[in-house]
């Protein structure tokens, strides 16, 4: 069975954040890093070339496929800041109504600039996503 393409790496998170070319995206990444650290209490690590992850979990699907993945995190992409905070099991509509300008994917939240968002609601959503994930898979610190 094939392994996940996105694996934890030993790249320093601070070095990665400093390498983000766009100054607003870089500044927002620094803010989000602190929010995720404050909410989780965990030290982040890089997953693949561009995802900053906090915590991890091991999953085993009914198909037999299994692996490890970050519990929560974000990636300062070129077009958006992508937050991996909604495992896809629960409806977070109430929180999303209060978060500010955003788009959602299957388990991702897309933000353009943090100045358009409520950081307290982002923190609530991180915690809610982790709590929801932990009802299905044991989550461990990074």
- Please, are residues 61 and 67 in contact by the beta-carbon 8 Å criterion? no
Distance separating alpha carbons of residues 22 and 56, to the nearest angstrom = 28
- Please, are residues 82 and 108 in contact by the beta-carbon 8 Å criterion? yes
Per-residue pLDDT of the chain (142 residues; tens, 9 = 90+): 567 788 899 999 999 999 999 999 999 999 999 999 999 999 999 999 999 999 999 998 888 888 899 999 999 999 999 999 866 646 777 888 899 999 988 778 999 999 999 999 999 999 999 998 999 899 999 8
Distance separating alpha carbons of residues 43 and 24, to the nearest angstrom = 23
- pTM (whole model) above 0.75: yes
């Amino acid at each position: 069975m094939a392994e996940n393409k996105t694996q934890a790496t030993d790249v320093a998170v601070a070095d990665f954040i400093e390498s983000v070319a766009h100054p607003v995206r870089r500044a927002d990444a620094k803010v989000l890093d602190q929010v995720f650290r404050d909410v989780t209490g965990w030290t982040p690590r890089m997953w693949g070339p561009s995802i900053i992850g906090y915590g991890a979990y091991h999953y085993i699907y009914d198909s037999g496929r299994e692996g490890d993945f970050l519990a929560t995190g974000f990636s300062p992409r070129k077009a958006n800041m992508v937050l991996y905070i909604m495992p896809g099991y629960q409806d977070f509509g109430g929180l999303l109504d209060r978060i500010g300008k955003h788009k959602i994917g299957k388990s991702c939240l897309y933000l353009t600039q943090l100045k358009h968002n409520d950081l307290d609601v982002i923190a609530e959503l991180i915690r809610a996503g982790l709590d929801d994930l932990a009802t299905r898979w044991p989550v461990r610190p990074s």
